[in-house]
Structures are given as structure tokens and as C-alpha cells.
Amino acid sequence: MKTLMSFTAGLALIAGMAAAEEVRVYNWSDYIDEELLEKFEAETGIELIYDVFDSNEVLETKMLAGGSGYDVVVPTGTFLQRQIQAGAFQKLDKSKLSNMGNMWDVIAERTATYDPGNEYSVNYMWGTTGIGVNTGKVAEILGDDAPIGSLALVFDPANMEKLASCGVHFLDAPTELIPAALAYAGMDPDRKDGDALAKAEEVLMAVRPHVQKFHSSEYINALANGDICVAIGWSGDILQARDRAAEAENGVEIAYNAPSEGALMWFDQMAIPEDAPNPEAAHTFLNFIMDAQNMAAASNYVYYANGNKASQEFLVEDVIGDTAIYPDEAALQNLYTVTPFPPREQRALTRMWTKVKSGT
Amino acid sequence: MMRRTFLIALPYIWLLALFLVPFAIVLKISLSDIALARPPYMPQLDLTGGLAAVWDFITQLDFENFVFLTSDDLYWKAYLSSLKIAALSTAITLVVGYPIAYAMARAAKEWRPTLLMLVILPFWTSFLIRVYSWMGILSTEGVLNQFLIGIGAISEPLQILNTQTAVYIGIVYTYLPFMILPIYSALEKLDDSLLEAAEDLGCSRTTAFWLVTLPLSKGGVIAGCFLVFIPTLGEFVIPSLLGGSETLMIGKVLWEEFFSNRDWPVASAVAVILLLILIIPIVLFQRNEQKQREAEG
């Protein structure tokens, strides 16, 4: 191993590179402006290895197994909370994060629910879980007064039956779909008891035959191409689908709505694994992203809001002015957050989810 | 002498390191309990504690997870559904693959290497990319539907992607070469004079095929079927990319236990049972191979 390393180091020297230092980042798919990655390498001279995932479960398994080799990962708040308890992360050294002052207290207050004192993580982006529709096709099927701003669109079997032939995707994320089903049933979305799960199951089972697929990333392309009409998905992803369709000029028009019954608000947090090979460079990366202009560039690209107050002056009007991304005071009232499932309830939840997905 | 022992030992070391040790680890985890820790199960084996610690560790293991598997009908339904999908896919692959292998073996000698090459060629592209491209072909706005609508065969696009049909298409496509190759190799060895003799004795061409060709290619057919059946049973990638919410396969259940429930012990128990189910066809396959070798030798 040592010889191999000195060999690589030798090669690096020959190539005239300053250092063979590298940082490995594991982030969600379609979640950054890739120019930022090049900019980071150019500015710091650290080689950046950037991998992507599309489900919290995959990331969590890597974190719990340990030895993932990543220096920076981006779990969602509820998952982060559990992983902190399992000892998967190291505390941030805030003296190395000179851009800490850029962060937005409104968001930091909320993320403290998952990470008390924000000791282990900083917010990358946040968003809502809502409904994306192909406006033309949905109007064609359900008429112009289709309830596209309501959960009734996806949880009322009468609507779903008609939409099925056109294609409906749901996120493969039980911790987000069950709160939505509870909100539709008029219950507290954060309930985890047996009665609540049974109610959520009833709502979901009634519409499951009309769901073409439960998947957490395919719907971006499927919506944009016109392959499907409706998706329960993440705000920015659906807005990306909207833009891809507009760019392709294929006549597909996509709209995103946070449902009127309430929408889940989630937070993706950057954290450093306990066994990160290069925590020093991980802090450098975090600080780079926390730079106001860099963070703004990322948000402008992916259409998600961020937890960086200073970045807001660099956001384009399309992002900061869109209430689907930066909700106004009234819309903010309509958003709810949830807490993680304890292990026993988690098993009941997954079992129910399998039943919803497969009918067994 | 040393060298010979080493040569004989090599495959055993390989088996030990890459099969038995991993299996022992999986078995060990399947007897443990779930915990919120890294890694997420208890107890951990602490060798520094000496024999007492090892004994303490062993007493904490139990069969609870296997008992749990019997308490929920999800698991046996998933095993059964996987067996069904694997069996049906194998049958379809055989029906599609046999004529191809037959045509290849009947082709002019100078053509055969090229035909063989064509069967192997897809392996040069990543398996994942090949399955992914099927999504582009089968989707409602995909190539196939565009074509069918274009020629006027259908007016509404067919929903194939995300259904069981797509899973079968994906499996048959992917595993077809594994069926063709052994059958081809059996048919190629076939002595033509046997067919001539059959025809001399009054067999029609069809009867000669059923009475001579088919029985003599039996070894290839059986080998091909096992090569398709065994990997299909635990298949995960194809159903998750092409299948819809209806597709219930044990590979997916395993994934869910492992990733969604973070329950490594139960996931390991599912894997151990899957292995036990697979051992039966694998042993049958070995026997068949051995018999053939004896017949040839």
C-alpha cells in the first residue's frame, strides 16, 4: 500500500500537481451545479470525488456499516438525528467554518430539533414534499377544476382511477408519504401510533392499484418527458422537471404545489462521518459551500431553498421570488415537520409500506 | 510436492475466503439482535476478552429472527413469487434460446464463430446500461410505443414498463446467452451421421429432432436452465428498474430489510433461507454435471 501511495504521489509530482489531497463527498443526485465542483478544485487544489445517492436508506446503511470512505454526506434531518445517536458523525469544528455567520437563524432553529445546537451539521438545502402535475394532461382528464393543489388529487380513489392510465408516481419514502396520508385524513402528520398507521394504510391502500411506481428519482425525467402525469415528489425535483420540459420544448408543462392540507418540510444537512479519512478537507468543503455566492449558485441551479441567509441577495428572482421554493409567511404556516420513527414503529412502518407497494 | 499441495489447496483457500467466511459472517449476524449502533446489531464479538468473551458472545445468539420470518406471510409469499418468476423466466428463455442455439449449430462452419461472437457481444456493455436502455425502449413515450403507434398497430401507448411483463423481458434478454451457450455447445458436438441414420430408418426430420437431437442436447438444456434459474431467483436489479409496485421478489424484500428497516439480523436470516432454497438446484446441477462427465469419460 505504501509503495502504491508513493507511486501515486510520484505521479502527481510528475504531473505538476501541488498536492494529492482529496475529499470525498456523497450527496443526493441532481442536487448541485456541477460548475461548483470544478470551482472548488480550482480554488483549493483539493481533488474532489463526488458521488450521488437517491435515498436516505442507502446513505444510512453506509453510515451504520462504517468505513464508507466519505468525508461529507448529506442526510435528511430525521435520518441525521438517528445516525447521530448511533455515533456516525463527528462534531463540527466551527473555528474552521469562517462562513458560519452566513447561516439563516430561522432554518437553524428548526434543524436544531434533529441536531441539538447544530453541533454535527449545517443545512445544505431544504424543501417541501408536494405534488407535481402535467397541467395539460391532468386538465384533459379531470377537467379544468382538477384539485391540483390538494392531496385529494392523489389520495381520492375517484381521481386516481382516472389518472392511472396516464401514470402516477409516488416517492418511495414511507417517512414522507405516511405523514401526507395522515394530513389528508385530517390527523397530526407526526403521529406514529398503531391507529394512525392503520388510517394511513387505509388511505394508501385505496389508491395503490393506480400508482404505477414508487420511486424517488425516476419521476423527474418521467414528468419532463410526459411519460407520467402526476408525481408526489420533492419540490426542487419537480421544478427541475418543469425546466427540463421547457428546455426540451416538448409541449409538456409541469407545475408544483405544496398541498393545501399541509406539506412536509424537510432539511438536508451536511455532516462529517465519524471515520472520515480527511476531516480537514471536509471542513474546507463545507466552508466553500457555505460561501454566500456558492450557495446561491447551487440553489439557482437546483431550485431548492437553502439555509444560508447571506446567499439570498445572489439568488435569481425565479428562485427567491417563487413561493413554491421560498414560501411566504402564510405558506410557511402550512408546512409541518416530523420526527424520526423509533425502531419498533419503524418495523411496522416498513412492513406496511411493503404491503402498500406490493399488495402483500 | 509443496507445489502440488499448494495447487490443490488454492481453490479450497479461495472457497474458504470468498464463500465460507462470508457465509459464517451472515449466519452470525442472522443470530444477533438489532441495535442502534455502528454496525447496527448486537452482540459484537470481542476477541480481546479471551475465551470467556467468546462464550458470552455465543450464549447471546438465538434463532429469534428465523422464528420471526414464519410469523409474517410476506416472506414465504416473496420466496414463492421469486420461484415462480424464476421458473417462468427459465421456461421462456429456453423456448427462445433453443431455436437460436439450434440455428447456430446448423449454420455453416465458417459462420459459427461470428454467430457465437454476436451472442457474447452484449457482455461488452455494462449489464446496468443494458437494463437501463430497456426503460427507454419500453416506456410509454419510448421507442417501441412510438414505433407501434407510427405504423398504426395501436392508438394508445401500451403500458409495459413498470409491469411484470417488463421484468420478464429484462430477465429473458439478460440471461439468454447463458441458455444459448451450453445448448449450442451440446448441439455442436452432435454427430450428423446419427440424424442420417434416423432418417434412413424412416424418421421424418421432425421425429428425428424429437428422438435424436433433443435427447442428446439434454445436458446443455439442463445446464442452461440452471444457469438462468439460479441467478434469477435472487435477482434485484431487473425488478427494481423495470418492475412496478406489484413485483414482489425476495431480492427486494432483502433490500428493504437491510436498507429501510436497518434490520441486518432479519435481512441476514432472509439471505440464509434464500441460500438454503438455492442449495437444492445447485446440488442437482452439480449431480447433472458429474453424470455427464461420467458419461463422456
Task: Give the amino acid at B271.
Answer: A
Share of chain A above pLDDT 70, in %: 94
Please give the CATH number for the structural domain made up of B73-296. Answer: 1.10.3720.10
pLDDT of residue A18: 45
The tens digit of pLDDT for each residue in A295-320 reads: 999 999 999 999 999 999 999 999 99
Mean pLDDT of B156-169: 90
Q: Which of B26, B155, B162 is the mutation pick for testing A, counting most A CBs within 10 A? A: B162
Higher pLDDT, A2 or B232: B232
Please check whether residue A85 touches B, CB under 8 A: yes
Please check whether residue A212 touches B, CB under 8 A: yes
Please check whether residue B84 touches A, CB under 8 A: no
Of the partner residues B38, B73, B248, the one whose CB lies closest to the CB of residue A64? B38
Mean pLDDT of A106-113: 92
Please name the residue ranges forming H helices in chain B.
Answer: 2-15, 21-30, 50-59, 64-71, 73-106, 112-120, 127-138, 143-150, 164-188, 192-200, 205-208, 214-216, 218-233, 237-242, 250-255, 264-296
Could you tell me which chain B residue has the CA closest to the CA of A346? B261
pLDDT of residue A309: 95
**CA distance linking residue B34 with residue B46, whole number of Å:** 17
pLDDT of residue A344: 75
Please check whether residue A360 touches B, CB under 8 A: yes
The tens digit of pLDDT for each residue in A82-105 reads: 999 999 999 999 999 999 999 999
Give B74's contacts in chain A (Cβ within 8 Å): 351, 354-355, 360
Taking 70 as the threshold, does the pLDDT of residue A350 lie above it?
A: yes
Please indicate whether, in this complex, the C-beta atoms of A225 and B247 are within 8 angstroms of each other: no
Could you tell me which chain B residue has the CA closest to the CA of A355? B74
Torsion over CA: B86, B90, B96, B101 (sign): positive
> Is A188 strand, coil or helix?
coil
Could you tell me which chain B residue has the CA closest to the CA of A61? B259
pLDDT of residue A15: 47
Mean pLDDT of B78-83: 93
**CA distance linking residue A68 with residue A34, whole number of Å:** 23
B39 upstream amide cis, omega within 30 of 0: yes
Report the complex ipTM: 0.72
> Is A227 strand, coil or helix?
coil
End-to-end alpha carbon distance in chain A: 50
Q: Are A290 and A99 a contacting pair, CB within 8 Å? A: yes
Residue A191 has, within 13 A of its CA and on its CB side, a CA count of 17
* Portion 236-255 of B in contact with A at CB < 8 A: 244-248, 253
pLDDT of residue A1: 42
pLDDT of residue B297: 62
What's the gap in Å between the CA of B13 and the closest CA on chain A? 23
Mean pLDDT of A237-264: 94
Mean pLDDT of A22-47: 95
Largest interatomic CA distance in chain A:
70
pLDDT of residue A2: 46
Q: Are A123 and A303 a contacting pair, CB within 8 Å? A: no
Could you tell me which chain A residue has the CA closest to the CA of B242? A213
Pairing of strands A72-73, A305-306: unpaired
pLDDT of residue B45: 75
Taking 80 as the threshold, does the pLDDT of residue B246 lie above it?
A: no
Please indicate whether, in this complex, the C-beta atoms of A66 and B140 are within 8 angstroms of each other: no
Please check whether residue A353 touches B, CB under 8 A: yes
Higher pLDDT, B154 or A312: A312
Tracing cell 421432425 back to the chain, one arrives at B206
Q: Kind and range of the H or E element at A107?
A: helix A105-111
Indicate the average pLDDT of chain A.
91
pLDDT of residue B186: 94
What's the gap in Å between the CA of A54 and the closest CA on chain B? 13
Please check whether residue B65 touches A, CB under 8 A: no
Could you tell me which chain A residue has the CA closest to the CA of B141? A227
Please indicate whether, in this complex, the C-beta atoms of A347 and B263 are within 8 angstroms of each other: yes
Say which range, A163-172, A224-233, B20-29, B40-49, has the weakest mean pLDDT.
B40-49
Could you tell me which chain B residue has the CA closest to the CA of A357? B245
C-alpha cell at B280: 437444492
Say which range, A46-50, B1-5, B249-253, B282-286, has the weakest mean pLDDT.
B1-5
pLDDT of residue A192: 93
Mean pLDDT of A315-329: 92
Please indicate whether, in this complex, the C-beta atoms of B260 and A58 are within 8 angstroms of each other: no
**CA distance linking residue A30 with residue A43, whole number of Å:** 23
Taking 80 as the threshold, does the pLDDT of residue A186 lie above it?
A: yes
pLDDT of residue B107: 92
Taking 60 as the threshold, does the pLDDT of residue A10 lie above it?
A: no
Give A160's contacts in chain B (Cβ within 8 Å): none
Indicate the average pLDDT of chain B.
89
pLDDT of residue B3: 76
Of the partner residues B38, B162, B247, the one whose CB lies closest to the CB of residue A86? B38
Contacts across the A-B interface (CB distance below 8 Å): 81
Please check whether residue A332 touches B, CB under 8 A: no
Mean pLDDT of A17-33: 84
Identify the CA nearest to A37 among candidates A215, A265, A312, A298: A298
List chain B domain ranges. 1-29, 31-62, 73-296
**pLDDT confidence bin for B1, thresholds 50/70/90:** low
- Going from the C-alpha of B117 to that of each of A108, B120, B180, the distances in angstroms are 60, 5, 12
Q: Are A261 and A184 a contacting pair, CB within 8 Å? A: yes
**pLDDT confidence bin for B166, thresholds 50/70/90:** very high
The tens digit of pLDDT for each residue in B3-59 reads: 778 888 888 898 889 989 999 999 999 998 888 888 888 887 777 777 887 887 888
**pLDDT confidence bin for A35, thresholds 50/70/90:** very high
- Go through the domains of chain A in sequence order and give each one's CATH number: 2-127+267-327 (3.40.190.10), 128-265+338-358 (3.40.190.10)
End-to-end alpha carbon distance in chain B: 28
Neighbouring C-beta atoms of residue A285, cutoff 10 Å: 23
φ, ψ dihedrals at A352, nearest 5° = -65, -40
Q: Are A71 and A285 a contacting pair, CB within 8 Å? A: yes
Taking 70 as the threshold, does the pLDDT of residue A12 lie above it?
A: no
Of the partner residues A66, A351, A357, the one whose CB lies closest to the CB of residue B38? A66
What's the gap in Å between the CA of A322 and the closest CA on chain B? 31
